[in-house]
Amino acid sequence: MTVDATFDMQVLRDGNLPSHLLAVVQTDQAPSTPPLMLPIDATLFARGFRAELNIPVTAPGIAAPIPWRLENSQVLVVTLPVIQITVPHVRSLPLLLLYGMGLETEQNLLAFSLLPVNVVEEFPNAAAMSLILSRYRDDSFERTYRHNQGIWKNILALGLNDTRNLELVQNAWNVTAEARRIRQRSSRQP
């Protein structure tokens, strides 16, 4: 699916506006699926990730996007340049961007976004964490597994710079992968 070079977004609060809009598609998604549109600040993205976005160079003196009012209304809109990217897992990207760009710093919230509370409570005992997670119902476990695998693949693809968040996600992924191995071993036993 093709997207325009710019996109108009409504401004909810006139301050700390994004500089660009990511049009995100997943590696294995159907071409007809519309991209997920995520606003970013290019400077914060460059600080948080090693991946190059190939942002077109703007002419000297061009300011950041400036909000403007829709004709005959009080609605503020900003026109953002669109950058198309492909990632391994679209659904986990907003969470990764939130932490990778430093817009959220509370690590407990990240941990609870990756693993159930009763699993996180066992930290730092990874074996206990994996065992508890392995006992979750199939649908809950698979949702957690896919999410954590996806965010880990996104980290590898985009090159997250923040080692604290990287280690937290890596620990959650390791616990999740071990929980899956426990589930597979128990399903093979008579």
**Residues 83-95 pLDDT 10s:** 999 999 999 999 9
pLDDT score recorded for residue 14: 66
Which pLDDT belongs to residue 61?
60
**Type and span of the H or E element at 78:** strand 76-87
Residues 72 and 3: their CA atoms lie apart, in Å, by: 27
Could you tell me if 65 and 76 are in contact, meaning their C-beta atoms sit under 8 angstroms apart? no
3-class DSSP assignment, residue 22: strand
Q: Is the model more confident about 109 or about 60?
A: 109
Q: What is the pLDDT of residue 4?
A: 87
In 130-155, which positions are buried (b, 16+ CB within 10 angstroms) versus exposed (e)?
Answer: bbbbbebeeeebeebbebbbbbbbbb
Whole-angstrom CA distances from 9 to 57, 100, 105, 122 are: 22, 22, 26, 42
- The pLDDT tens digits of the residues spanning 127-152 come to 999 999 999 999 999 999 999 999 99
C-alpha–C-alpha distance, residues 93 and 20, integer Å: 16
pTM attached to this predicted model = 0.89
Whether 31 shows a pLDDT value over 90: the answer reads: no
Q: Is the pLDDT of residue 111 over 60?
A: yes
Q: Which band of pLDDT confidence, cut at 50, 70 and 90, is reported for residue 11?
A: confident
Are 129 and 140 a contacting pair, CB within 8 Å? no
Distance CA 130, CA 134 (A): 6
Q: How far apart are CA 54 and CA 46, in angstroms?
A: 11
